[in-house]
Amino acid sequence: MPTVNQHQPSASRHNVTVEIDGVDVNIYSSVERVDVNLRQNEHDHARIVLAGIPAMSVTDYVDRPVMVHIAVPYGEGFTFVGFINHIEPTHKSRDGRVEGGLLQEATLNCLGASSDMRGVKARIWKDFTIKDVVEVMSVDYKFSYSCPDTAPTIPSMSQRGLSDWEALTKACVQSGLAVNVHGTEIHVWNPLTALQHGAPSGTLRSVDAAEGDAPGNIMEFSGAFGSSHAYGDVNSKKISILDEHGKLLTAESADLLNTEPASGTAVTSTLTAVLPIEAVSLSDARRKLAATRAYSDAYIAKVVTTGVAGPIPGSAIAVDGFNGEFDGLWLVRGVEMKTNQGHFLTEWELGRSTKGNTLRQSDSLYTYQPAPSPKVQSGAWRSSTRRANVYSI
Protein backbone atom coordinates (compact mmCIF):
# COMPACT_ATOMS: atom_id res chain seq x y z
CA MET A 1 0.00 0.00 0.00
CA PRO A 2 1.47 3.42 -0.89
CA THR A 3 2.31 5.66 2.04
CA VAL A 4 2.42 9.41 2.46
CA ASN A 5 4.33 11.73 4.74
CA GLN A 6 7.49 9.62 4.88
CA HIS A 7 9.19 10.67 8.09
CA GLN A 8 11.86 13.36 8.18
CA PRO A 9 15.20 12.44 9.79
CA SER A 10 14.42 14.64 12.82
CA ALA A 11 10.94 13.12 13.37
CA SER A 12 10.01 9.91 15.14
CA ARG A 13 9.55 7.10 12.63
CA HIS A 14 6.07 6.80 11.15
CA ASN A 15 4.14 6.23 7.93
CA VAL A 16 0.69 7.58 7.11
CA THR A 17 -1.80 6.07 4.68
CA VAL A 18 -5.08 7.67 3.63
CA GLU A 19 -7.86 5.84 1.78
CA ILE A 20 -11.18 7.17 0.52
CA ASP A 21 -13.70 4.55 -0.57
CA GLY A 22 -10.91 1.98 -0.26
CA VAL A 23 -8.65 3.80 -2.78
CA ASP A 24 -5.31 5.26 -1.76
CA VAL A 25 -5.58 9.03 -2.12
CA ASN A 26 -1.93 9.43 -3.08
CA ILE A 27 -2.68 7.90 -6.48
CA TYR A 28 -4.37 11.07 -7.75
CA SER A 29 -3.43 13.86 -5.30
CA SER A 30 -0.84 14.69 -2.68
CA VAL A 31 -1.54 14.48 1.03
CA GLU A 32 0.05 17.53 2.63
CA ARG A 33 -1.20 17.22 6.20
CA VAL A 34 -3.13 14.80 8.40
CA ASP A 35 -4.31 15.59 11.96
CA VAL A 36 -6.21 13.04 14.06
CA ASN A 37 -7.88 14.33 17.21
CA LEU A 38 -9.21 12.06 20.01
CA ARG A 39 -10.93 13.50 23.11
CA GLN A 40 -13.05 11.89 25.80
CA ASN A 41 -16.80 11.95 25.10
CA GLU A 42 -16.32 13.37 21.60
CA HIS A 43 -16.38 11.97 18.07
CA ASP A 44 -12.94 11.12 16.71
CA HIS A 45 -11.97 13.79 14.19
CA ALA A 46 -9.51 13.82 11.29
CA ARG A 47 -8.43 16.77 9.17
CA ILE A 48 -6.79 15.93 5.83
CA VAL A 49 -5.27 18.56 3.54
CA LEU A 50 -4.92 17.48 -0.10
CA ALA A 51 -3.05 19.27 -2.88
CA GLY A 52 -4.25 18.97 -6.46
CA ILE A 53 -7.68 17.50 -5.79
CA PRO A 54 -9.79 16.98 -8.96
CA ALA A 55 -12.73 19.40 -9.08
CA MET A 56 -15.24 16.53 -9.50
CA SER A 57 -14.01 14.94 -6.27
CA VAL A 58 -14.94 17.98 -4.16
CA THR A 59 -18.63 17.12 -4.30
CA ASP A 60 -18.24 13.38 -4.78
CA TYR A 61 -16.24 12.95 -1.57
CA VAL A 62 -18.91 14.24 0.84
CA ASP A 63 -20.10 11.44 3.18
CA ARG A 64 -17.67 8.93 1.67
CA PRO A 65 -15.92 6.46 4.02
CA VAL A 66 -12.33 7.35 4.88
CA MET A 67 -9.51 5.54 6.66
CA VAL A 68 -6.28 7.00 8.06
CA HIS A 69 -3.59 4.74 9.48
CA ILE A 70 -0.56 6.06 11.34
CA ALA A 71 1.96 3.22 11.48
CA VAL A 72 4.84 3.21 13.97
CA PRO A 73 7.60 0.63 14.57
CA TYR A 74 6.97 0.20 18.32
CA GLY A 75 3.28 -0.80 18.34
CA GLU A 76 0.03 -0.99 16.42
CA GLY A 77 -0.12 2.77 15.81
CA PHE A 78 -3.60 4.18 15.33
CA THR A 79 -6.31 3.68 12.71
CA PHE A 80 -9.03 6.27 12.21
CA VAL A 81 -12.15 5.28 10.27
CA GLY A 82 -15.15 7.47 9.57
CA PHE A 83 -16.76 9.66 6.97
CA ILE A 84 -15.93 12.91 5.20
CA ASN A 85 -18.25 15.39 6.86
CA HIS A 86 -17.48 18.46 4.77
CA ILE A 87 -14.82 19.75 2.36
CA GLU A 88 -13.18 23.18 2.10
CA PRO A 89 -11.65 23.68 -1.38
CA THR A 90 -9.50 26.71 -2.20
CA HIS A 91 -8.46 28.34 -5.48
CA LYS A 92 -6.19 31.36 -6.00
CA SER A 93 -5.53 32.32 -9.61
CA ARG A 94 -2.09 33.70 -8.76
CA ASP A 95 -0.95 30.26 -7.60
CA GLY A 96 -1.49 28.56 -10.95
CA ARG A 97 -2.50 24.95 -11.44
CA VAL A 98 -1.73 21.91 -9.30
CA GLU A 99 -1.79 18.48 -10.92
CA GLY A 100 -3.42 20.19 -13.92
CA GLY A 101 -6.39 21.43 -11.88
CA LEU A 102 -7.51 24.85 -10.64
CA LEU A 103 -7.97 23.83 -7.00
CA GLN A 104 -4.68 24.17 -5.16
CA GLU A 105 -5.86 22.62 -1.90
CA ALA A 106 -8.86 21.03 -0.24
CA THR A 107 -9.32 20.32 3.46
CA LEU A 108 -11.36 17.23 4.27
CA ASN A 109 -13.00 17.35 7.71
CA CYS A 110 -13.87 13.84 8.83
CA LEU A 111 -15.80 12.44 11.80
CA GLY A 112 -15.28 8.94 13.16
CA ALA A 113 -17.66 6.01 12.68
CA SER A 114 -19.68 7.30 15.64
CA SER A 115 -20.96 10.06 13.32
CA ASP A 116 -23.62 7.51 12.27
CA MET A 117 -25.04 7.94 15.79
CA ARG A 118 -25.96 11.62 15.29
CA GLY A 119 -29.57 11.13 14.22
CA VAL A 120 -32.04 12.52 16.77
CA LYS A 121 -34.34 9.97 18.45
CA ALA A 122 -37.02 9.92 21.11
CA ARG A 123 -37.13 7.23 23.79
CA ILE A 124 -37.12 6.80 27.56
CA TRP A 125 -34.55 4.75 29.47
CA LYS A 126 -35.71 3.30 32.82
CA ASP A 127 -33.66 1.61 35.56
CA PHE A 128 -30.70 1.01 33.27
CA THR A 129 -26.92 0.86 33.34
CA ILE A 130 -24.40 1.97 30.75
CA LYS A 131 -23.96 -1.64 29.69
CA ASP A 132 -27.67 -1.77 28.76
CA VAL A 133 -27.31 1.31 26.54
CA VAL A 134 -24.09 0.10 24.92
CA GLU A 135 -25.56 -3.34 24.14
CA VAL A 136 -28.55 -1.78 22.35
CA MET A 137 -26.44 0.66 20.36
CA SER A 138 -23.82 -1.93 19.42
CA VAL A 139 -26.60 -3.99 17.81
CA ASP A 140 -28.12 -0.95 16.06
CA TYR A 141 -24.78 0.12 14.53
CA LYS A 142 -23.07 -3.29 14.33
CA PHE A 143 -20.16 -2.13 16.49
CA SER A 144 -18.11 -4.15 18.95
CA TYR A 145 -17.87 -2.81 22.48
CA SER A 146 -15.82 -2.73 25.65
CA CYS A 147 -17.76 -1.74 28.78
CA PRO A 148 -17.73 -2.25 32.56
CA ASP A 149 -20.57 -4.26 34.09
CA THR A 150 -20.28 -2.66 37.53
CA ALA A 151 -21.65 0.78 36.67
CA PRO A 152 -24.50 2.01 38.90
CA THR A 153 -28.15 1.93 37.86
CA ILE A 154 -29.63 5.19 36.57
CA PRO A 155 -33.33 5.51 37.55
CA SER A 156 -34.45 7.22 34.33
CA MET A 157 -33.26 9.35 31.42
CA SER A 158 -35.20 10.96 28.59
CA GLN A 159 -33.68 10.81 25.12
CA ARG A 160 -36.26 13.11 23.60
CA GLY A 161 -34.55 15.32 21.02
CA LEU A 162 -31.16 13.69 21.63
CA SER A 163 -29.09 11.58 19.26
CA ASP A 164 -27.83 8.18 20.34
CA TRP A 165 -24.36 9.69 20.71
CA GLU A 166 -25.63 12.49 22.95
CA ALA A 167 -27.63 10.03 25.04
CA LEU A 168 -24.66 7.69 25.41
CA THR A 169 -22.25 10.42 26.49
CA LYS A 170 -24.84 11.92 28.85
CA ALA A 171 -25.42 8.58 30.55
CA CYS A 172 -21.68 7.91 30.80
CA VAL A 173 -20.98 11.28 32.43
CA GLN A 174 -23.88 10.74 34.85
CA SER A 175 -22.30 7.40 35.81
CA GLY A 176 -18.79 8.79 36.30
CA LEU A 177 -17.59 7.10 33.11
CA ALA A 178 -16.25 8.30 29.76
CA VAL A 179 -16.73 6.99 26.23
CA ASN A 180 -15.14 7.03 22.79
CA VAL A 181 -15.69 5.17 19.55
CA HIS A 182 -12.30 4.35 18.03
CA GLY A 183 -12.60 2.46 14.76
CA THR A 184 -15.88 0.58 15.24
CA GLU A 185 -15.52 -0.14 18.95
CA ILE A 186 -17.59 1.59 21.64
CA HIS A 187 -15.00 2.01 24.38
CA VAL A 188 -16.40 2.90 27.82
CA TRP A 189 -13.86 3.52 30.59
CA ASN A 190 -13.70 4.77 34.16
CA PRO A 191 -11.42 7.80 34.75
CA LEU A 192 -11.00 6.74 38.39
CA THR A 193 -9.50 3.35 37.45
CA ALA A 194 -8.17 4.12 33.96
CA LEU A 195 -4.52 4.01 35.08
CA GLN A 196 -5.06 0.29 35.72
CA HIS A 197 -7.15 -0.35 32.61
CA GLY A 198 -4.21 -1.40 30.44
CA ALA A 199 -4.93 0.69 27.32
CA PRO A 200 -1.89 1.41 25.07
CA SER A 201 0.69 3.38 27.02
CA GLY A 202 4.12 5.00 26.67
CA THR A 203 6.55 7.45 28.24
CA LEU A 204 6.95 11.19 27.61
CA ARG A 205 10.49 12.35 28.44
CA SER A 206 11.89 15.78 29.26
CA VAL A 207 15.16 16.95 27.71
CA ASP A 208 17.03 15.42 30.66
CA ALA A 209 15.66 11.99 29.79
CA ALA A 210 15.16 12.36 26.01
CA GLU A 211 16.39 9.62 23.68
CA GLY A 212 17.50 11.04 20.31
CA ASP A 213 14.64 11.08 17.80
CA ALA A 214 12.57 8.64 19.88
CA PRO A 215 8.80 9.16 20.14
CA GLY A 216 7.56 11.06 23.17
CA ASN A 217 10.39 13.56 23.69
CA ILE A 218 8.78 16.57 25.40
CA MET A 219 9.02 19.85 23.50
CA GLU A 220 6.51 21.86 25.56
CA PHE A 221 4.91 21.26 28.98
CA SER A 222 2.29 23.62 30.40
CA GLY A 223 0.61 22.66 33.67
CA ALA A 224 -1.91 23.93 36.22
CA PHE A 225 -1.46 22.35 39.66
CA GLY A 226 -3.76 22.90 42.64
CA SER A 227 -6.46 21.21 44.69
CA SER A 228 -9.07 23.71 43.43
CA HIS A 229 -8.84 25.67 40.18
CA ALA A 230 -10.73 26.56 37.04
CA TYR A 231 -10.36 23.06 35.59
CA GLY A 232 -11.86 21.19 38.55
CA ASP A 233 -11.26 20.50 42.20
CA VAL A 234 -10.54 17.61 44.56
CA ASN A 235 -12.62 18.88 47.45
CA SER A 236 -14.30 16.30 49.66
CA LYS A 237 -17.93 16.22 48.54
CA LYS A 238 -21.17 15.43 50.31
CA ILE A 239 -24.83 14.97 49.31
CA SER A 240 -27.67 14.83 51.84
CA ILE A 241 -31.02 13.26 50.91
CA LEU A 242 -34.29 12.20 52.52
CA ASP A 243 -35.21 8.57 51.87
CA GLU A 244 -38.76 7.28 51.38
CA HIS A 245 -39.18 7.01 55.16
CA GLY A 246 -38.16 10.63 55.76
CA LYS A 247 -34.77 9.69 57.19
CA LEU A 248 -31.85 12.01 56.45
CA LEU A 249 -28.99 10.15 54.75
CA THR A 250 -25.61 11.48 53.70
CA ALA A 251 -23.30 10.23 50.94
CA GLU A 252 -19.66 11.34 51.09
CA SER A 253 -16.64 11.03 48.82
CA ALA A 254 -15.04 8.62 51.31
CA ASP A 255 -17.94 6.18 50.73
CA LEU A 256 -17.01 5.61 47.11
CA LEU A 257 -15.34 2.49 45.84
CA ASN A 258 -11.84 2.90 44.35
CA THR A 259 -11.07 5.90 46.56
CA GLU A 260 -7.48 4.74 46.99
CA PRO A 261 -5.31 6.16 44.21
CA ALA A 262 -3.97 3.70 41.67
CA SER A 263 -0.56 5.34 41.63
CA GLY A 264 1.07 7.82 43.98
CA THR A 265 -0.28 9.85 46.89
CA ALA A 266 -3.72 11.42 46.58
CA VAL A 267 -3.87 15.20 46.33
CA THR A 268 -6.63 16.35 48.67
CA SER A 269 -8.25 19.66 49.52
CA THR A 270 -9.05 20.93 53.02
CA LEU A 271 -12.48 22.02 51.80
CA THR A 272 -15.75 20.10 51.88
CA ALA A 273 -18.40 20.90 49.28
CA VAL A 274 -22.05 20.11 50.04
CA LEU A 275 -23.60 19.58 46.63
CA PRO A 276 -27.16 20.81 45.94
CA ILE A 277 -28.06 17.64 44.07
CA GLU A 278 -31.26 15.62 44.33
CA ALA A 279 -31.12 11.83 44.49
CA VAL A 280 -33.76 9.14 44.86
CA SER A 281 -31.62 6.83 47.01
CA LEU A 282 -28.25 6.56 48.71
CA SER A 283 -26.86 4.55 45.80
CA ASP A 284 -28.12 7.20 43.37
CA ALA A 285 -26.37 9.89 45.46
CA ARG A 286 -23.12 7.92 45.38
CA ARG A 287 -23.43 7.58 41.61
CA LYS A 288 -23.67 11.36 41.32
CA LEU A 289 -20.69 11.82 43.65
CA ALA A 290 -18.64 9.46 41.49
CA ALA A 291 -19.63 11.48 38.43
CA THR A 292 -18.14 14.65 39.93
CA ARG A 293 -14.95 12.89 41.06
CA ALA A 294 -14.34 11.31 37.65
CA TYR A 295 -13.94 14.72 36.01
CA SER A 296 -11.96 16.48 38.76
CA ASP A 297 -8.18 16.61 38.33
CA ALA A 298 -5.86 18.31 40.81
CA TYR A 299 -3.11 18.52 38.19
CA ILE A 300 -3.66 19.10 34.49
CA ALA A 301 -1.11 19.55 31.72
CA LYS A 302 -0.93 20.25 28.01
CA VAL A 303 2.14 18.63 26.51
CA VAL A 304 3.67 18.68 23.02
CA THR A 305 6.02 15.83 22.12
CA THR A 306 7.70 14.22 19.17
CA GLY A 307 5.14 11.99 17.50
CA VAL A 308 3.49 9.12 19.36
CA ALA A 309 0.65 6.96 18.00
CA GLY A 310 -1.16 4.34 20.05
CA PRO A 311 -2.34 5.81 23.38
CA ILE A 312 -5.98 6.91 23.46
CA PRO A 313 -8.23 8.73 25.93
CA GLY A 314 -8.30 6.45 28.96
CA SER A 315 -4.65 5.42 28.59
CA ALA A 316 -2.06 5.86 31.31
CA ILE A 317 1.00 7.75 30.07
CA ALA A 318 4.22 8.22 32.04
CA VAL A 319 5.95 11.60 32.35
CA ASP A 320 9.66 11.30 33.17
CA GLY A 321 12.73 13.50 33.57
CA PHE A 322 11.51 16.52 35.56
CA ASN A 323 12.69 15.04 38.87
CA GLY A 324 9.55 16.29 40.59
CA GLU A 325 6.51 14.86 42.31
CA PHE A 326 4.55 15.23 39.06
CA ASP A 327 6.75 12.69 37.28
CA GLY A 328 4.80 9.46 37.03
CA LEU A 329 1.55 8.21 35.53
CA TRP A 330 -1.01 10.63 34.09
CA LEU A 331 -4.44 9.97 32.60
CA VAL A 332 -4.83 10.79 28.90
CA ARG A 333 -8.02 12.80 28.43
CA GLY A 334 -7.21 13.98 24.90
CA VAL A 335 -4.56 13.36 22.25
CA GLU A 336 -4.00 14.90 18.82
CA MET A 337 -1.56 13.40 16.31
CA LYS A 338 -0.29 15.91 13.73
CA THR A 339 1.64 14.87 10.61
CA ASN A 340 2.84 17.36 8.00
CA GLN A 341 5.27 16.70 5.14
CA GLY A 342 7.00 13.96 7.10
CA HIS A 343 7.02 15.75 10.45
CA PHE A 344 5.11 14.21 13.36
CA LEU A 345 4.02 15.83 16.63
CA THR A 346 1.57 14.75 19.30
CA GLU A 347 -0.33 17.10 21.61
CA TRP A 348 -1.63 15.73 24.90
CA GLU A 349 -4.30 16.74 27.42
CA LEU A 350 -3.36 15.03 30.69
CA GLY A 351 -4.76 14.95 34.21
CA ARG A 352 -4.01 13.37 37.57
CA SER A 353 -5.02 13.76 41.20
CA THR A 354 -1.97 12.13 42.75
CA LYS A 355 1.68 12.99 43.20
CA GLY A 356 4.60 10.61 43.11
CA ASN A 357 6.94 9.39 40.40
CA THR A 358 5.80 5.81 39.91
CA LEU A 359 6.26 5.24 36.17
CA ARG A 360 4.71 1.79 35.92
CA GLN A 361 1.40 0.42 37.14
CA SER A 362 2.14 -2.69 39.22
CA ASP A 363 -1.50 -3.69 39.81
CA SER A 364 -2.93 -3.34 36.30
CA LEU A 365 -6.39 -4.84 35.84
CA TYR A 366 -5.67 -5.70 32.18
CA THR A 367 -9.30 -5.04 31.32
CA TYR A 368 -8.44 -3.41 27.99
CA GLN A 369 -8.58 -5.53 24.82
CA PRO A 370 -7.63 -4.37 21.30
CA ALA A 371 -10.69 -3.78 19.13
CA PRO A 372 -11.58 -5.97 16.13
CA SER A 373 -10.70 -4.46 12.77
CA PRO A 374 -13.34 -2.30 11.01
CA LYS A 375 -14.80 -2.90 7.57
CA VAL A 376 -17.10 -1.07 5.17
CA GLN A 377 -20.42 -2.80 4.57
CA SER A 378 -23.22 -1.26 2.48
CA GLY A 379 -21.55 2.14 2.75
CA ALA A 380 -21.25 2.08 6.55
CA TRP A 381 -18.43 1.18 8.91
CA ARG A 382 -19.06 -2.09 10.78
CA SER A 383 -16.99 -4.19 13.13
CA SER A 384 -15.53 -7.27 11.46
CA THR A 385 -16.34 -9.20 14.66
CA ARG A 386 -19.28 -8.58 17.00
CA ARG A 387 -17.05 -8.75 20.08
CA ALA A 388 -18.23 -7.80 23.61
CA ASN A 389 -15.51 -7.14 26.18
CA VAL A 390 -17.40 -6.85 29.49
CA TYR A 391 -15.18 -6.25 32.51
CA SER A 392 -15.32 -5.33 36.20
CA ILE A 393 -13.81 -2.14 37.62
Q: Quick check: is 5 in a domain?
A: no
* Any domain includes 268: yes
How would DSSP label each residue in 332-346?
Answer: EEEEEEEEETTEEEE
Domain membership flag for residue 366: no
pLDDT tens by residue, 304-349: 999 999 999 999 999 999 999 999 999 999 999 999 988 999 999 9
The verdict on 93 and 157 lying in the same domain is no
The mean per-residue pLDDT over the stretch 136-151 comes to 96
Q: What is the predicted pLDDT for the residue at 327?
A: 93
Q: Which of 141, 242, 262 is nearest to 193 (CA)?
A: 262
- Tell which residue, 158, 180, 154, 185, has the closest CA to residue 169: 180
Residue 368 belongs to some domain of the structure:
no
Whether residues 264 and 203 share a domain: the answer is: no
* pLDDT one-digit tens code per residue, 195-239: 888 899 999 999 988 877 789 999 999 999 987 665 556 777 788
Residue-wise pLDDT tens digits, 154-164: 999 999 999 99
Overall average pLDDT of the 230-252 stretch: 75
216 and 253 in a single domain? The answer is no
> Are the C-beta atoms of 35 and 47 separated by less than 8 Å?
yes
**In this structure, are 20 and 158 located in the same domain?**
no
User: What pLDDT, on the 0 to 100 scale, is given for residue 2?
Assistant: 42
Q: Cβ distance 46 to 68 under 8 Å? A: yes
Q: How do strand 236-242 and strand 272-274 relate by DSSP bridges?
A: parallel
pLDDT at 338: 97
CATH number of the structural domain spanning residue 106 = 2.40.30
The DSSP code sequence of 204-223 is EE-TTT--TT-TTBEEEEEE
Residue 136, domain CATH: 3.55.50.10
Look at residue 106 and tell me if it is in a domain.
Answer: yes
Residue 230: its pLDDT value, please?
53
Rounded to a whole number, what is the distance in angstroms from the first to the last CA of the chain?
40
Q: Which residue has the higher pLDDT, 96 or 207?
A: 207
Q: What is the pLDDT of residue 228?
A: 65
Examine the pLDDT at 263 and tell me if it is beyond 70: no
Instruction: With a cut of 80, say whether residue 358 has pLDDT above it.
Output: no
- Give residue 28's pLDDT: 57
- The dihedral region occupied by 273, where left means phi > 0, alpha psi between -120 and 50, and beta the remainder, is beta
Query: What is the distance between the alpha carbons of residues 286 and 283, in angstroms, rounded to a whole number?
Result: 5
304 and 247 within one domain: no
Answer yes or no: do 206 and 310 share one domain. Answer: yes
210 and 350, same domain (yes or no): yes
Asked if residue 306 and residue 318 are part of one domain, the reply reads yes
Lowest average pLDDT, out of 15-24, 122-131, 268-277, 314-323, goes to: 268-277
Q: How many domains does the chain have?
A: 4
Choose the final residue of a domain: 115, 134, 163.
115
Q: Which one, of 328, 68, 43, 299, lies nearest residue 180 by Cα?
A: 43
Supply the pLDDT for residue 286. Answer: 81
Kindly indicate the confidence band of residue 1, based on its pLDDT and cuts at 50, 70 and 90.
Answer: very low
Report the C-alpha gap between 383 and 140 in whole angstroms: 12
pLDDT of residue 291: 83
Distance CA 374, CA 81 (A): 8
Examine the domain organization and report whether 256 and 345 are in the same domain.
no
Give yes or no: residues 214 and 327 share one domain.
Answer: yes
Q: What's the CA gap between 202 and 100, in Å, rounded?
A: 44
Burial class of residue 368, CB neighbours in 10 A (0-12, 13-18, 19+): buried
Range name among 9-23, 53-67, 149-163 with the lowest pLDDT average: 9-23
**Packing angle of the helix pair 164-174, 130-141 (nearest 10 deg):** 160
Same-domain status, 41 and 103: yes
| DSSP output for 105-130 | EEEEEEEEGGGGGGSEE--EEEEE-H
Mean per-residue pLDDT over the chain, rounded: 87
Average pLDDT on 66-74 reads 95
| 184 lies in the same domain as 234 | no
In a domain, 53, yes or no: yes
Ranking 3-7, 138-142, 175-179 by mean pLDDT, the lowest is 3-7
What is the CB neighbour count within 10 angstroms for residue 13?
A: 16
- Whether 365 is in a domain gets the answer no
Segment (H or E) for 284: helix 282-294
> What percent of the chain shows pLDDT beyond 90?
57
- Segments forming the whole domain that contains residue 136: 119-194+374-391
